[in-house]
Structure 1
Amino acid sequence: MKKLFVMAAMVLSSVGAFAQQAAGTTTLQPKVGLNVATIGDNDWKAGFAAGAELQYQAADNFGIAVGALYSVQGFKGKDVDIDTPIGSGTIKNDFKWNPGYINVPITLNYYPVAGLALKAGLQPGFLVNKDDMDDAKTVDLSIPVGLSYEYQGIVFDARYNIGVTKLADNYDHYNNVIQITVGYKFAL
C-alpha cells in the first residue's frame, strides 16, 4: 500500500510539472463558472461568472494576476425584511436580487507545488445591473481567497470573495460569493 502511495505521488508530481509557466512569462486565461452568493442572513443563490485573467509569472513559485469577470451575485430569501429611505416592511413570498458586477480581481498566486496555486488579493467590483435596488453602491470591494489547480492548460479555480464594503449606506450587509470556474491558460 505504501508503494502505491509513493508511485501515485511521483506520477502526480511529474504531471504537475507540465502545469506551470516559467518565470518571466505572461499567460491569459479565459474562464466561465458558477457563483453561489448571499448577503447577510439570506439564502444562497446561484449565479454566473465569465471573463479572463492575465498573469505574470514573477518567479517559479509566484505569480501576479489581474482579471475582469462579469459576475451575477445577490441573494434569495423568503419574507425579506427591508428598510429603505422610501419605507420599510416585509416582502412576502420568494424574493431574489440578481445584481451584475464587473469584478477586477488582483491576486498574488503562490505555487507550493507545480500546478497548485494558493491565491489571495483585492477585488474591486463595479455594479452594472442594479436589478431594482436603486440605492445600491456602484463600487464594491472584496477580498478573494482560494486555490486553483492546472492540468495541461485547463485551470480549475475555487474562491471565496469576502465582502468588505456595505451594499448601500442604509443597508449593513456585504456581498459574500463562492466562485468556482474552469478556464484554459495559454502563454502570450
Structure 2
Amino acid sequence: MKKVILSACVMLIAIAAYGQRDKGTVTLQPKVGLNVATLTNDGDADSRFAPVVGAEVEVQATDMVSFSGGLLYSMQGAKGKVGNVDGTVKLDYINVPILANVYVANGFAVKLGVQPGFLINNKVKVSQNGVNAEVDLEKAFKAAGIDAKLNKVDVSFPVGVSYEFSNINIDARYNWGLTKIIDQDNSKNSVFQITVGYKFAL
C-alpha cells in the first residue's frame, strides 16, 4: 500500500512539473497553422482559409510568466460574392507578434500582446463562369475610379491560449485588427489562427 501511495505521489509531482520551464529558459518554436480570416464592417464578407508559418522565441521571466516575439508569414483577407462573380481579397503580411504569456495551469497558458504587421502582397482574385483573373488590389481600385490606398502597416491585438506537451505546442489565438485596411474604409483585419509548433531549447 505504501508503495502504491508513494508511486502515486511521484506521478503527481511529475505531472505538476510537466510543461513548466525554469526562469531564464529560452526556446525557439518553428510553427505552422491555419488562418480563418475576414474583414470587419463588411456583412457580405466570408472567411478566407489560408496558411500561416513562422517561428517564435520565448524567454521565461518567472515560473509562470514568459515573453515571446515572433516572425510570421500570414495570409489574410476575405472572400465574397457579387451576383455570379466570386472574389477573394488576398492580403499577405509579415507579422511580428509580441506577447506576454501567463502559465495558469500545467502546460496551459493565456497570452495577449500587440502585433505589428507589414503588407507584402495584395491581390484580388475574381472568378466568373470558369474564367479566373487576379490583379493588384490598388490597381483594381484605380481602374474602377476609386481613390483609395492600402495601409502598408497593420496593427492588431492578439489574445489566445496555448497548451504544451512533450515540447509540442498547440496555440489558438484571435488577432483583432486595430488599423483600417484602406484609408477611406473602416474595414479591419479579423483573424482566428491555430498553429502547431515544436519548442527547442536554446
Query: Matched residues in 1 for 2:17 and 2:50: separation?
Result: 34
Tell whether the 8 Å contact from 1:26 to 1:54 is kept in structure 2 after alignment. yes
Pairing of 1:36-55 with structure 2 (within 5 A): 36-40=36-40, 41=43, 42-55=45-58
Task: Give the root-mean-square deviation of aligned CA atoms.
Answer: 1.7
Question: Following the alignment from structure 1 to structure 2, what is the Cα–Cα distance between the partners of residues 19 and 33?
Answer: 21
Q: 1:60 aligned to 58, 63, 69, which one?
A: 63
Q: Which residue of 1 aligns with 2:110?
A: 118
TM-fit CA distance, 1:24: 0.9
> What amino acid does structure 1 have at the position aligned with 2:35?
N
User: In 2, are the aligned partners of 1:57 and 1:63 still within 8 Å (CA)?
Assistant: yes
CA apart distance, 1:18: 2.5
Segments of structure 1 that go 5 or more residues without pairing to the other structure are 1-9, 80-90
Deviation at 1:142, TM superposition (A): 0.2
> Aligned in 2, Cα 1:117/1:20: closer, same or farther, shift over 3 Å?
same
Instruction: Output the TM-score relative to the length of structure 2.
Output: 0.79
Aligned equivalent of 2:157: 143
CA distance in 1 between partners of 2:153 and 2:113 (Å): 17
- Aligned mates of 1:184, 1:130 — CA distance in 2: 30
Query: Which of 72, 77, 81 is equivalent to 1:74?
Result: 77
Structure 2 stretches lacking a partner, 5+ long: 1-9, 124-135, 139-148
Whether 1:187 aligns to 2:201 is yes
Q: 1:172 aligns with which of 186, 193, 196?
A: 186
Match of 2:173 in 1: 159
Distance 2:86 2:11 in 1: 50
Aligned counterparts of 2:171 and 2:163: Cα–Cα separation in 1: 7
Equivalent residue for 2:92?
100
Select the structure of larger CA radius of gyration: 2
Tell me, what secondary structure is at the counterpart of 2:18? helix
- Write the distance in 2 (CA, Å) between the matches of 1:149 and 1:180: 12
Q: Which runs of 4+ in 1 moved over 6 A?
A: 10-13
- Displacement, 1:123? 0.2
Residue identity matched to 1:64: F
Tell me if structure 2 keeps the 8 A contact 1:116–1:148: yes
Match for 2:67: what amino acid? I
**Is contact 1:16–1:115 with CA below 8 Å preserved after alignment?**
no
Q: TM-score, normalised by structure 1?
A: 0.85
Question: Which amino acid counterpart does residue 21 of structure 1 have in structure 2?
Answer: R
Count residues in correspondence.
Answer: 168
**CA shift in 2, pair 1:15/1:186, >3 Å:** farther
Change over 3 Å in CA distance of 1:11–1:94 after alignment to 2: farther
Q: Identify if the C-alpha distance between structure 1 residues 12 and 141 changes in structure 2 by more than 3 Å, giving closer, same or farther.
A: farther
